[in-house]
Amino acid sequence: MKYNSWWNWNHLRDAESLNNNEKKNIIVLYFVHLIFGLKQALIQLILVFASIIHALFPFAFNFKLLDIVVNQCIQLYKFLPDHPSWKKIKKEIK
């Protein structure tokens, strides 16, 4: 599996194996990935605008933006628990 490259023709199958699921239909994998990816992208898009507002007005949103980022990380962890990037985060937190 190539995790450091920007292009991977086997991305859906690699993501499937990191999710501890195997041998789903590629069409099903595509739509699961599409829905999850669009949901995460929408969260990121909202964070962009909210972060700009927060940068201009620090009193806006308090620490809620951080809570959103943490919750998004938790969702990603649950979706891809075996991805090697989690080792970096665990190491940094310790």
Give the residue extent of every domain in the chain.
11-93
Phi then psi for residue 74, to 5 deg, are -65, -45
Q: How confident is the model at residue 1 (pLDDT cuts 50, 70, 90)?
A: low
Kindly report whether the global pTM for this prediction surpasses the value 0.95.
Answer: no
Does 23 score more than 80 pLDDT?
A: no
Lowest mean per-residue pLDDT among 12-16, 60-64, 68-72:
12-16
